[in-house]
Structure formats: C-alpha cells, structure tokens
Amino acid sequence: MKLLFDGIDEPGLNTLNVYERRGGYQSLRKALAMEPEEVLGNISDSGLRGRGGAGFRMGQKASFLPRGEMDKYLVCNADESEPGTFKDRELMQKSPHMLIEGIVIASWAAEIDRAFIYIRGEYALQADILEAAIAEAEKAGYVGEWILGSEHSLKLVLHRGAGAYICGEETGLLDSLEGKRGNPRLKPPFPAIEGLYHGPTLINNVETLCTVPHIIRMGGEQYAKIGTETSTGTKVVSISGDVQRPGNYEIELGIPSREIIYGLAGGPPDGREVKFWFPGGSSAPVLTKDDLDIPYDFDSLAKAGSMLGSGAIIVVDESHSVLEVALKLAKFYAHESCGKCVPCREGTNWTVKMLRRIQAGEATPMDLDIMASVQEQIIGNCLCVLGDAMAMPIGSMVEKFRPELEAEIEAARERAGAGDLEAVIPLGVADEHAGPVPVH
C-alpha cells in the first residue's frame, strides 16, 4: 500500500500543477470545511505516531497546546540528521506540496498562524525546491491570509540550518531557530506549553506532517485500520549499509523485519549474512540476525529492547567488525555533543578513548565493564537524549558481542606486542614516574 510514495516519481510532482492534478490540496479543502476540533479528532483517531524518532502520538501532542488566540507556532522538523535516515529528503525533494498541505492542515487543527520549516543546511536542493513550492502555494492562496476564503491564515517560513545533529532535538532546534547555538533546553516546560519565542509550539517531523493530508482524505478511523493496533499506518523506511538495494521503501507497519531487509533491500551482498542491524537509526540498540523475524512496528521493537526511532535500518554484515562500527558511532556522538551536560560531553569522549585503547592494544577485558558502566551513567542523566543515543547502541554492542570484543582486545594486544604478560606494567605502577615497585 502506498500513501506517501503514491506516484512519487511522477515527473514534475514538485510543481503545483502536477500535485493538484493528482488530487493535491483536496484534503486541505476538506479540512477547512471542518472545525479545528474535528480535524484534530481525525488526527487523534488515526493513531498516527511521530515519525521523527520518539513515536509520540501526534493527536495527543497537538491537543496539549492551549486553545484560543495567542502567538502559537508550528515547527516542521526537517533537520533529518540521524545517521541512516534519508526519508524526509526524498519526500521534500519529490513532493514538497504534500508537506506544505500537511503543515497548513495541522496548523488549522491547532489554530496556529505561524509556521517554520527547519531544514538542515546540507539539504540545499530540497530547500530550494521547498522555497519554490511555498511561493507557488502562496500565489495560489493555499498559504497566507484567509486561506481559500476560510478563517485560517498561515505565514510559512523556510529556515535553513548550518550543520549540527543536535538541532534535530526539538528544544535544540528551537534555540537554533531563535538564532542561538543549538543547545537543548530543560524540560518541562515542554514546547507545547513554552517553545519558540516562549509561545506554545507544535513540533512535528516531515513524514508525520506529510501523512496528515492522507488521514484527512481517508478519515482517521479508516487510516487506523492500516498497520497494527498501536502502530497504525504506513512508514517510509530508509535502509542502508550492507544491503544490495539501499533506499527508501514505504511499508505497512507490522511486517516482519526480514521482509524489509531481505525481501525489499535484497540482504547483504555476495551471500554474506547479517551480523547485526540498527532498526531505527544509529541511536537504536542493535539487534542480531536472530531478531530478523520481529515485526517492524513501534511496540514489537521496543519489546525486543530496541526502538523504531526514525525508521532507518542500517545493516552490518559479517565482513565488518563490531569495534569499527562502535568507534565510528562513538566518534560521531562525541563530535555532535553540544557540551551542555557533563555526562554526555565527557561520556561520549571517554567512550571514544576507550574504544581507541582497544584498537591500540592497550585495553583489557575489564575495560568493557568500565565502558558498559559509563554508558549506564549517561542514560537518563542529561537534558536531551543525545548521550543516550550513543550509550544505548554501544551498551547493546558490548552486551551482545562481548566475546568478539574480548577477542579483538587480545588480538590487538598481540599486535601491539603487549600480549606477553611480562611486558604489561603491573597494576599500581601505571604512572611511569612512580618507579619500580619496592620489593620487600
């Protein structure tokens, strides 16, 4: 079943003409004929869960915003920077009007008259396309004052970021949009109460908002029949890494993960086997080849100790070592940590150092325990989840691949010539200035 990807490759779909010919902006007309509460009711009935990572119910989030006239904002999070995720890129590039239509409908549902799309600075092509589409929509009266003669007005501005993973975190994004360094804020107050410019703010991911026109077209209850009971609808899955056909696929939530990795993406090349996979971006704890039959939906993956996250599957096959992936991952989070909270700032850097020690042959299996405990001390102790996003996958790798990592430690020590016990400095005199241990 294709909703978001229906006709996505049609030439010129990024222009208003083609989009309208395919039935575009009909959902907006339908929504504007309803009361905002009814639109919100449809979104709630659909059971739509956020597609950006947290999986929070959109209807519920929108209902947290205070009603009535005040400075309220809608922010579309198009900062897609979770490693492995590239679904929003394809949606914005090929069907920008679907996103605009979703934003206009969602802002009507929450009675918001000012919206921003925060797109990552690297997506230059997609930003240009969106800017052109917004101009077209404004000209046609789909965005602006008294939209299609209704009471709804909306000012929509595209804002380009400048390259920072943390700006995908909702409060970091708000700070960045206000023109500051993208440091996350303390929650509560949650953005729905106090967000952008201190006003109540609804923040949704691109894919979530793109789904809204389809919900209005089908009706919320009808949409809820797709997928599983708690994970309704379709999801665009980005699959990459060691697979034969990487790319974006729209699936119905709840199909077996194997069907995506092997069926759609063709599995690892050259007949190799899956070693482990990230089910929801690089922040998700890894799963192994034994977990391939888990249904791909929010709750099944959570039950398996991981998460659906942004819906990005990264497959690693047996030709790669756990250590190399772990180091890459830790380096990324250490680079992207904004530095505001100590456990994340120090923890990510410590983890990189410890992994480098393994590589350099300076580690012992005890380091794995220290590494695991550092991860535990990061989780839940920061303002945002960037630190957790490293700690969870690294922790899961240490847990699931401990024998391999121990073998790696031994091998590296032998390579470094430290495998010989006598060459190892005895405990207690690690400090080279301490001198030899006195013998009594």
Partner 1 sequence: MSPVSRGVSAEQRHQNAGQDGPQRTPVPRFGHGSRVPGWDESVDLSKDPAVVPDPETTPVPEALRQEIERAMAKYPDRRSAAIPALHAAQRLHGWCSPEAIHQVAAVMQVTPAYLTSVATFYDMLETRPELQDHHDVYVCTNISCSLRGAGDLLDAMVAAAAGHHDVHVRAFECLGACDIAPMASVDGEYIGPLETGDAVTVVEDLRAGRPVFEAKQLRYRKCADPEVAQQEHEG
Question: What does the binding site for partner 1 look like in residue numbers (CB under 8 A)?
Answer: 2, 5-10, 71, 80-86, 88-90, 93-94, 114, 120-125, 157, 159-165, 176-182, 197, 238, 240-242, 245-250, 264, 282, 312, 314, 316, 320, 324-325, 328-329, 332, 335-336, 338
Rounded CA gap, 23 and 98, in Å?
A: 11
Q: Which is nearer to partner 1, 28 or 76 (CB)?
A: 76
| The pair of three-digit structure tokens given for residue 140, joined into one six-digit string | 């046609």
* Minimum separation from the CB atom of position 163 to partner 1 (A): 3
* Minimum separation from the CB atom of position 125 to partner 1 (A): 6
Q: Which residues contact 241 (CB under 8 A, 6 or more apart)?
A: 84, 277, 313, 314, 315, 316
* Minimum separation from the CB atom of position 49 to partner 1 (A): 21
How far does CA 136 lie from the centroid of its chain? 29
**Gyration radius from the chain CA atoms:** 24
- Which amino acid is it at 189? P
* Minimum separation from the CB atom of position 5 to partner 1 (A): 5
Most distant pair of Cα atoms in the chain: their distance:
95
Measuring CA to CA, how many Å separate 12 from each of 129, 135, 139, 415, 438? Answer: 11, 16, 18, 57, 81
Q: Which is nearer to partner 1, 59 or 395 (CB)?
A: 395
In sequence order, which ranges of 113-201 are alpha helices (DSSP H)? 124-139, 170-177
- Which amino acid is it at 213? P
* Minimum separation from the CB atom of position 424 to partner 1 (A): 31
Q: Which is nearer to partner 1, 51 or 114 (CB)?
A: 114
Q: Which is nearer to partner 1, 118 or 142 (CB)?
A: 118
* Minimum separation from the CB atom of position 334 to partner 1 (A): 11
Q: Which is nearer to partner 1, 6 or 410 (CB)?
A: 6
Q: Which is nearer to partner 1, 110 or 330 (CB)?
A: 330
* Minimum separation from the CB atom of position 39 to partner 1 (A): 25
CA angle 193–96–145, rounded 5-degree value: 60
* Minimum separation from the CB atom of position 314 to partner 1 (A): 6
Q: Cβ distance 245 to 266 under 8 Å?
A: yes
Q: Which is nearer to partner 1, 40 or 329 (CB)?
A: 329
* Minimum separation from the CB atom of position 346 to partner 1 (A): 17
- Taking the CA atoms of 387, 285, 60 and 119 in sequence, report the sign of the dihedral they define: positive
Q: Which is nearer to partner 1, 88 or 101 (CB)?
A: 88
Q: Which of 209, 224, 23 is nearest to 104 (CA)?
A: 209
Rounded CA gap, 107 and 285, in Å?
A: 34
Q: Which is nearer to partner 1, 264 or 405 (CB)?
A: 264
Q: Cβ distance 313 to 279 under 8 Å?
A: yes
Q: Phi/psi at 248 (nearest 5 deg)? A: -100, 135
Burial group, residue 31, by CB count within 10 angstroms (0-12, 13-18, 19+) = buried
Angle, to 10 degrees, between the axis of helix 386-400 and the axis of helix 342-360? 30
* Minimum separation from the CB atom of position 57 to partner 1 (A): 26
* Minimum separation from the CB atom of position 276 to partner 1 (A): 12
Q: Cβ distance 246 to 319 under 8 Å?
A: no
Rounded CA gap, 49 and 60, in Å?
A: 9
Q: Which of 101, 71, 73 is nearest to 174 (CA)?
A: 73
Q: Which is nearer to partner 1, 144 or 419 (CB)?
A: 144
Q: Which is nearer to partner 1, 29 or 198 (CB)?
A: 198
User: What 8-state DSSP symbol labels residue 158?
Assistant: E
Cis preceding-peptide flag for 285 (omega within 30 of 0): no
| The pair of three-digit structure tokens given for residue 11, joined into one six-digit string | 């030439």
Q: Which is nearer to partner 1, 9 or 422 (CB)?
A: 9
Rounded CA gap, 334 and 386, in Å?
A: 10
* Minimum separation from the CB atom of position 179 to partner 1 (A): 4
| The pair of three-digit structure tokens given for residue 294, joined into one six-digit string | 């888990």
